[in-house]
Structure 1
Amino acid sequence: MPQKTIKPWGWELLYALTEDYAGKIIFIKKDHRLSLQYHRTKEETMHLFSGSVVFETGDSTSDLKQQIIRPGQSLHLAPGTLHRIKASEDSVILEVSTPELDDVTRLVDDYGRAGK
């Protein structure tokens, strides 16, 4: 079942997928960031296992707030919440979410993947 996907910012390992939930391990390379994105129905909780990241979250691009997350801290993201993660150092995040893995709309992406 485990499925590793290489990303321009690192990789993710999908280790669980059922009709009720999904589990991922996400590795982000230092000074890289994920896209600014949101999910229509997907709900997720992220737990920083190692490293240091800056989470940007908000209801619109004009009100994004930055929060430094350290190992042992978690962040819940409700559907519709804009979010982006930037790694201050190599970082590992554990993500548990509802199973809608394709439910992502990218608004800004450093790697040219903006859009759905």
Structure 2
Amino acid sequence: MKTKKDLKTVDRSEFTNTPYVKRVEKPWGYELHFVKEDMPYMGKIMHINAGKRLSLQIHDQKLETYFLASGECNLLVEDKDGGMITVSLEKGKGYTVLPGQKHRHQAVTGCDVVEVSTPEIGNTYRLEDDYSRPTETPGLREDPNRGWNG
């Protein structure tokens, strides 16, 4: 464990106070990534347009926690018995989806959902997708639209 004395030897050359945001367009709205992709975690705001939904998906490695910031959003999520349930996200509460757990966001109204997660690693298997997007692989993440041609 580092002590206060050890902190005097910290390499400060990487310290920054420069703000960061990257907008990623999606067919259902957009994401605002507020953490750079090379960090050991991810933070983003998903703006989902009213009536739109994300793919029904499974992550093989990624762990996600959601926090509803504004609007109304339902989370279709796999329960411990393998069934699918719909949860109305409540403002001020966090909801976690584990690797291997099916899930899908559905906007009732335009909404903003904060997502914090492990880095965008592994595959996102799209079981159903309103926009015919393929499974998202690490290589596909290099494409600006990640396989979506909209």
Q: How far is the alpha carbon of 1:100 from its aligned partner?
A: 2.4
Residue matched to 1:88:
108
1:65 aligned residue (85, 97, 111) = 85
Shift of 1:73: 2.2
Instruction: Out of 90-99 and 65-74, give the one that drifted further.
Output: 65-74
Instruction: Specify which structure has the higher proportion of helix.
Output: 2
Secondary structure of 1:72's counterpart equals coil
- 1:34 matched residue in structure 2: 54
Alignment check: 8 A CA contact 2:62 2:122 kept:
no
Give 2:24's aligned residue.
5
Deviation string 1:47-105 (CA, Å, 9 cap, x unpaired) is 00011111011169x71111111222220011111000000001001110000256311
- Would you tell me which structure has more strand in proportion to its own residues? 1
- Hey, what's the Cα distance between the residues in 1 that align with 2:101 and 2:83? 11
Identical positions, percent: 37
Q: TM-score, normalised by structure 2?
A: 0.71
Residues matched between the structures, number: 115
Name 2:129's counterpart in structure 1: 109
Code of the residue aligned with 1:65 in structure 2: it is: I
CA gap of 1:64–1:114, structure 2 versus 1, over 3 A, is farther
AA matched with 1:3: K
The higher radius of gyration belongs to 2
TM-score normalised by length of structure 1: 0.90
Give the RMSD, CA atoms, in angstroms.
Answer: 1.8
